[in-house]
Amino acid sequence: MKIVVAIKQVPERDAPVHIAAEGRWIDEGDLNYTINEPDAYALEEALHLKEKVGSGEVIVVCAGPERVQSTLREALAKGADRAIHIEADDLGSRDTLGIAQILAEAIKTESPDLVLTGLQSDDLGLGQTGVVLAELIGVPHATIILQVEPSGDGIKVKRELEDGWFQHVEMPLPALLTIQSGGNKLRYATLMGIKKAKTKELKTVAAAASSGAPSITLERVYLPEKQKKTEMLTGSPAEVAAKIVEKLKFEVRVL
């Protein structure tokens, strides 16, 4: 079974984040980067599935500038077989469709049986790239996946629903799954794995050209504005209580 895992490099969670001078994104100058956490679980699920089947290949794909190769090498050290770096310095100017398009161009050439992505990214959190990618490469997809099992000529997946409910779905191959965090325990790269990663293939390909202007553009990034407001509520205790409940429902939106 050939499995492609699309991963993303994001700033570390505890990294000090500052807004760039132009106010449209963060200052990336002093940031440290790591693999997006849901994508790490996608990679772990791919490695688990390869071990269950007993054969196959796991290929990691990542788009971005040259620095993303460190994250690809980490994935190779954990057990991935090959890596593809889509060289793109303009990810900030591409919307979800644009990013999915450059991933699709690279993935189509591999003709994989299964494509895995994280459910969403830690930096933007849109949760859209995986499902858009599935449409572009023309395969069925399922989201919020915790577990994947081989089943005949296809797979059986466990989806997380609300309030502790789960759904088990059987799917044909090829397919695409977006993986939820927490389904497996993440493995560490061993010293032997790190040594082997240096000899594994890491291919660099050019990103496909953008097909027109992005449908969504980021205009401004800013910190939440703190506001103080005091409002005196008058009336009987019952009337004041009713007004408080109304404000909590329709203004604060916590009820």
| Of 85 and 253, more confident | 85
Q: Could you report the per-residue pLDDT of 47-100, keeping only the tens digit for each? A: 999 999 988 999 999 999 999 999 999 999 999 999 999 998 888 778 889 999
Q: Could you report the per-residue pLDDT of 186-221, keeping only the tens digit for each? A: 999 999 999 999 999 999 999 887 766 777 777 888
Domain assignment present for 255: no
- Which domain covers residue 178, as residue numbers? 2-206
Identify the CATH number of the domain in which residue 72 sits.
Answer: 3.40.50.620
Domain assignment present for 221: no
Domain assignment present for 229: no
How many residues are recorded in the chain? 255
> Is it the case that residue 162 has pLDDT exceeding 90?
no
> Is it the case that residue 227 has pLDDT exceeding 90?
no
Compute the distance between CA of residue 89 and CA of residue 6 in angstroms, rounded to an integer: 17
Domain assignment present for 234: no
Residue 87: how many CA atoms within 13 Å on its side-chain side?
6
> Is it the case that residue 29 has pLDDT exceeding 90?
no
Domain assignment present for 91: yes
Domain assignment present for 164: yes
Domain assignment present for 27: yes
What is the value of pTM for the model shown? 0.83
Average pLDDT rounded to a whole number, residues 225-248: 88
pLDDT of residue 172: 95
Domain assignment present for 212: no
- List, as one string, the DSSP characters of 129-162: HHHHHHHHHT--EEEEEEEEEEETTEEEEEEE-S
- What is the domain count for the chain? 1
